[in-house]
Amino acid sequence: MRWDAQALNPAPGDRGPSKGPRTGDPGAGEPGVTSGRGQSPATDALLPLIGLVRSVTTPEFAGVTFHEVTAKSVLNKVVAGSRMPFEWTINPYRGCSHACVYCFARKSHTYLDFDAGLDFDSQVVVKINAAEVLRRELAKPSWGRQHVALGTNTDPYQRAEGRYRLMPGIIGALADSGTPLSILTKGTLLARDIPLLKHAAAQVPVGVGISLAMTDERLSEAVEPGTPGPRARLKLITRLREAGLPCGVMAMPILPWLSDSDEALDSLFASLAAAGATGVTAGALYLKPGTREWFMQWIAREHPQLAGKYRRLYGTGSYASKEYRAWLSGRIRYFKALHGFSGSQGFSHSDLNGDPGSNDPNSTGTVSYDPNSIDPRDEEAQYPAGSIPEPAALAGARHGSHTAEAAQPTLF
């Protein structure tokens, strides 16, 4: 069927027929995280929003509704005081059909009057004029060609990108304007744009990051059911490196009692090294409000024996205990060193104070540290080598001195 034939725009208050939960969605047959609407995905929440063009469903994406909007602006300024290593972001999509039960961005969907659970997975907002608007914004005399990061909230290479093809126009607009860029994704659809990224890297500094935190295909299918599996993402890392592009890996989240064993960590870092990753950072599951409720429901349903452990480990906060993060830090440092990643940062972006880690395979991973000095916000603030342009390259780009050679990956 043609995509256009599937457009639907129900009148406000008319939700239309309920599609029900998708197979594999958290909450299938169980209560979800809702905003008082029950379990059915919303179809009318965006109708009052200025810029809505139409809402679309199609058998190709069963259970997902796409809300096509025209945006007035696509460049987002990072909030003042943020520790992030970039000042600007672009999110061509809101909501994500990858349906990762742990996704930290879930609460952002509530700003659109959607819920943070099933709606986040099944109600996807598409900024169909993103490239056109971006070119206008980049052409303003005030634009300083600062690094722009993509994929910081929802994935720009989720499945719908195969239909909407927003990223080629966005990449081209950034490169043509002399603006450095970086992309973080789980989507193997990125391979489609490797030639375009190589061309962009000859014009501006480019970083590429892949999110991959486990090699267990069954676990991946359970916690991130809409994503390409680990093997597919490992092949993508290799393709990027063979194309001469950098590729850092965000090995997050490591899931307590599910993917934090020595066997799991050894498999992960060995696979990333074999694939050619330029750098890796790893860290424990982060449970922001909105995400916490959805994930805890999933744990209680799928792994009831772990529900109490998770409640004790996370208490009432978003972060695992400092003691757990210190333990995990030691294990990550050990396996990174074992597989040749010791030259880059070890645990969730910034190492804890104290011993740089033991090379003893029988070590418990315990390190000496001051628990009060561990700020998890700092742990989130840096990215692995290759995933964002290096500071020196960014400085050169602002002064117009970037060359194709400078865009080649460098370990640090």
DSSP state, residue 318: S
Smallest Cα–Cα separation from 169: which of 209, 125, 129, 210? 129
Residue with tokens 């069927």: 1
Smallest Cα–Cα separation from 219: which of 303, 149, 142, 279? 303
**Token code pair at residue 40:** 């059915």
Asked if 344 contacts 269 with a C-beta cutoff of 8 angstroms, the reply is no
Determine the Cα–Cα distance for residues 66 and 158; give it in Å rounded to an integer: 12
Determine whether 189 is exposed, middle or buried from the number of CB atoms within 10 Å of its CB (0-12, 13-18, 19+). buried
Please work out, in degrees rounded to the nearest 5, the angle formed at the alpha carbon of residue 407 by the alpha carbons of 401 and 412. 110
Asked if 186 contacts 228 with a C-beta cutoff of 8 angstroms, the reply is yes
Whether omega for the bond prior to residue 92 falls within 30 degrees of 0, making it cis, is no
**pLDDT tens column, 39-60:** 344 444 444 666 899 999 999 9
The model's pTM is 0.81
| pLDDT value for 293 | 96
Facing residues of 77 across strands?
88
**pLDDT tens column, 313-358:** 999 999 999 999 999 999 999 999 999 997 644 334 344 443 333 3
Query: Strands (DSSP E) along 147-262, which ranges?
Result: 148-150, 181-185, 206-211, 248-254
pLDDT (tens place) for every residue of the chain, 412 residues total: 345 545 555 433 333 333 333 333 333 332 223 233 333 444 444 446 668 999 999 999 999 999 999 999 999 999 887 788 899 999 999 999 999 999 999 999 998 889 999 999 999 999 999 999 999 999 999 999 999 999 999 999 999 999 999 999 999 999 999 999 999 999 999 999 999 999 999 999 999 999 999 999 999 999 999 999 999 999 999 999 999 999 999 999 999 999 999 999 999 999 999 999 999 999 999 999 999 999 999 999 999 999 999 999 999 999 999 999 999 999 999 999 999 997 644 334 344 443 333 333 333 333 333 444 445 545 454 689 999 998 766 666 665 554 433 333 322 1
Distances (CA, A) of 81 to 57, 65, 78, 85, 115: 40, 35, 9, 11, 28
Determine the Cα–Cα distance for residues 386 and 410; give it in Å rounded to an integer: 7
| pLDDT value for 298 | 98
